[in-house]
Structure formats: structure tokens, C-alpha cells
A = this chain, B = another copy of it.
């Protein structure tokens, strides 16, 4: 069973317009009057190639953003039984009033961005519910603006009722010091109570201008900013106070986790700098990670797989990043073999599907027919022995 913990979807411009509250439609029309501006920004400034349309506006991956039948067909060819859905970070299918630098929202207009979130969430809930196979989709609500805590909590409650399976937060809130502020406590409470995992997704970074090196610096740094929520929730005590709260760090690599856990434990145990700041935690930081956190390991590498025991077999959710160019689609089978060949069956099953099944509450019975129809055979991995470094190629 293969579940991708990282896929992206988005509506057409016309659909977003329908889902937007009426008072924001004129502003959206204005912002989208030159869609090439948004598209070019994502391609040239950032260097990220969002699936784009051909001359007829009908390229397969782009259409699969909003056409659920095409989407399911592409998941089938990729061997993927079920998916977790994040928004498009840029381009025409991104939520209204979003851009990649401000991912998930334009800080200059938080009210419009909040309306864009609501439109995206409502479109996504319908997209998943109206699918021929709703059990194959776990949509996540985008909660970009949190200044009004009551409104934020109400949006998360609405998302739960609407069938969405988790919450995506900015790497840091737009205003204030950061996610360690006590005023965010009601958000952690409602997410714990409703079993809505909290996510960050790689993509936010500081404004670097359009200078030589800007794009490359952005790519070097961007994953780090998405990591931060982990230690903000850790050191502020939110993971201690909310032991059933779950955090998922998606598309931000997994190689860094063992070293970071080692450092955090050393900091907790006071072996760095003679400083003891345990912040009231009753366990080592690595124990909170093991209990409450997961990494959405998009296009997971062989190196990351080799570190799987230090990251935690139970804490890894493989992801394809469909339909992005940097993802594994449409070569997922090759990518899986490169990363996982030779891994024991129980570990393979956990990382590729079982862990995501638990975190997102997928319906196993409803998925099994698709697993049997499209999924790879476990024997295809475990029967292949991959040569170790330095040994003759086998």
C-alpha cells in the first residue's frame, strides 16, 4: 500500500472565483488579470517549474489539479492508493491572493489572504467529497492568518466537519514573535481535541530580491524555515501540554533530523554550554519527536532511508510531491526502488503507507481494492539486494 503524504491540488480561476466571498471577487479578478505575471514569477524568479498548460491549456498534470478523474488516473499509473493534498504554492492554481515568497499568503493583504484560504478550503472539501473515490484523498485546510484566534479555531472546527484531515500553518505567523506565544494555545487545543495534525510545508523564506544568487539562496534555506515550528512547539511546552497533538513536517527533507534531535537532547541535558533550560519538559526532545511528530518525506533519498532508524521508522511518511517536477511522478516506481530496495518488509510497509494511514485516518477497507489494483508488490523491493558502498555491484 502506497500513500503519498505530499500531493498538490488547486482549482481553476473560475472555480476559485465562485468559492470566494462576493466582496473579494473584484480584487481577485484584478490580481489575476495578468496570470502570466504569477506564472512567470514562479518559473523565473524562483526557478520552480509549476506544471503549466500547453497551448490549449490542457496539459495532463495541470488539468489533474482540478479534474478529479484525471487525477485518480494519474495516481493509478503512479501506483499510489491514496494521497494527502496540499495547495499549489504558486501559479494560477494557487489559492487566491497567494504568492510563493509569502507562502502561504501575501503579507500585505491579510484579509484577502484569509478569504483566499476560506475559498481554497471550501473548494478542496467539495473536491474530495465529490470524488468517485473519496477515501483516496485526505485534504488539509490552509490556515494562513491566525491573528484572530476565535476565527482561526472556528475555521479548524469547520474543516473537521467538512471532512478535511489536518491543518497547514505558515512556518511562522505573520505578526508577533512566533509560534511560541501563549496566545496560540487555543489552536493547539482544538487541533489536539479534533485529531487534526498540524503541518508546515517547505516554501517560505525571507525576501531576497531579484539579484544574482537570490533563487539559489532561497532554495538552500527554504527547508530550514519550515522546520522551525517543531522546536517552537517543543520548547514552548505545547507538545508537553498536548500529548495527542501531532505535527507533520512536509517536503523539507529528512536528513537533518538525527543531528537536530541529538543537538536538542544535548541542549535539554545541559551538555552544551553548561546551560540548563529544560523549560518544564518531562522528556527528552527526541522523545516528543518520536511520540508526536512525523516527516512528510517527499522524494525521499537513499541517504534519508539509511538514516531511517535515527529518524524513526514510525515517524516517516513517504511522499511523491505529485505533480511537481521535483517530485517522483511519473517515475515513482524507479524512485521507490532507488530509495528502498533491500529494506525489511515491515519497515517498508510503515514508511510507504501504514504510518500515513494512521496519521490521517484513511479507511483501510475502502483503500484495499485500489492497493490490490495499482500498488507495487512488496516482493519487488525485498527480493532485490542493493550493493553496499565499496562492495561489488550485485
Contacts and interface: CB of A to CB of B under 8 A. Distances in A.
A87 B24 CA distance: 54
A211 B181 CA distance: 7
13 contacts: A177-B207, A178-B208, A180-B217, A212-B236, A213-B237, A215-B277, A217-B236, A219-B273, A220-B264, A220-B267, A255-B259, A262-B303, A274-B325
A209 B303 CA distance: 38
A219 B267 CA distance: 8
Interface of A: 47-49, 177-178, 180-182, 206-209, 211-217, 219-221, 224, 228, 231-232, 235-237, 253, 255-256, 259, 262-264, 267, 272-275, 277, 279-280, 303, 325-326
B219 A279 contact: no
A235 B75 CA distance: 37
Contacts of A180: 208, 211-214, 217
B236 A211 contact: yes
Contacts of A220: 231, 235, 263-264, 267
B214 A47 contact: no
Contact of A177 (B209, B216, B224, B232): B209
A103 to B, nearest CB: 15
B231 A221 contact: yes
B279 A216 contact: yes
A118 B62 CA distance: 58
Contacts of A212: 180, 182, 235-237, 279-280
Contacts of A303: 262
A296 to B, nearest CB: 16
A161 to B, nearest CB: 32
Given A273-B325, A274-B325, A211 B177 contact: yes
A255 B216 CA distance: 23
Nearest to A215: B277
Contact of A232 (B213, B215, B277): B213
A172 to B, nearest CB: 9
A209 B181 contact: yes
A56 B262 CA distance: 41
Contacts of A255: 259, 263
Nearest to A274: B325
Contact of A275 (B47, B228, B273): B47
Nearest to A253: B263
A213 B228 contact: no
A350 B274 CA distance: 28
B216 A267 contact: yes
A326 B272 contact: yes
Contacts of A49: 274-275
B277 A216 contact: yes
With most chain B CB atoms within 10 A of its CB, the pick from A224, A264, A277, A279 is A277
Contacts of A237: 212-213
With most chain B CB atoms within 10 A of its CB, the pick from A217, A219, A236, A253 is A217
B48 A326 contact: no
Contacts of A221: 228, 231
Contacts of A232: 213, 217
A180 to B, nearest CB: 4
A47 B207 CA distance: 31
B213 A235 contact: yes
B275 A219 contact: yes
A134 to B, nearest CB: 31
With most chain B CB atoms within 10 A of its CB, the pick from A215, A220, A228 is A220
A182 B212 CA distance: 8
A48 B273 contact: yes
